[in-house]
Amino acid sequence: MDVLWERPERELTGRAVANAFPEHAYTTAATVLDRLVHKVLLRRRMDGRSIKFAVIGTRGAHTAALMHEDLVASREPDAALVSFSQTLSPVEAAILRRALEEREARPVPSDQ
């Protein structure tokens, strides 16, 4: 994912991704790319005889989804959130605070 997230606007062939990991076989890279497509983290597109891959979403959105999955799976989500908040730097806390304030300021959709 990191290779594709470096420049998310571009598409790479499986060979280009594999070349970024010379210590692994091409088939290993191809298998990982296929699994990432099935997890809906990448999209694949035929370009002539080549298959090109591109990221779906952003690195930040992916990180947020992973954090949310873990939080939902937690037996103590409140404690997890409190503990997480205590690990944030002042700058990170300000960013989170601003995001929460913006969320609160948004109108609630009428279908809820």
Query: 50 and 69: one domain?
Result: no
Flag whether 43 is in a domain. Answer: yes
Flag whether 74 is in a domain. Answer: yes
Query: 51 and 88: one domain?
Result: no
pLDDT one digit per residue (tens) for the chain, 112 residues: 989 998 888 999 999 999 999 999 999 999 999 999 999 999 999 999 999 999 998 899 899 989 999 999 999 999 999 999 999 999 999 999 999 999 989 887 766 5
| Cβ 3 vs Cβ 12: under 8 Å | yes
Query: 46 and 65: one domain?
Result: no
Q: How far apart are CA 81 and CA 20, in angstroms?
A: 37
Q: How many domains does the chain have?
A: 2
What pLDDT does 106 receive? 86
Flag whether 42 is in a domain. Answer: yes
Task: Report the interhelical angle of 59-73 vs 77-87 (nearest 10°).
Answer: 140
What pLDDT does 112 receive? 54
Query: 65 and 85: one domain?
Result: yes
What pLDDT does 8 receive? 85
Pairing label, strands 42-47, 12-13: unpaired
pTM here is 0.69
Flag whether 111 is in a domain. Answer: no
Query: 48 and 7: one domain?
Result: yes
Print the domain residue range for 85: 59-105
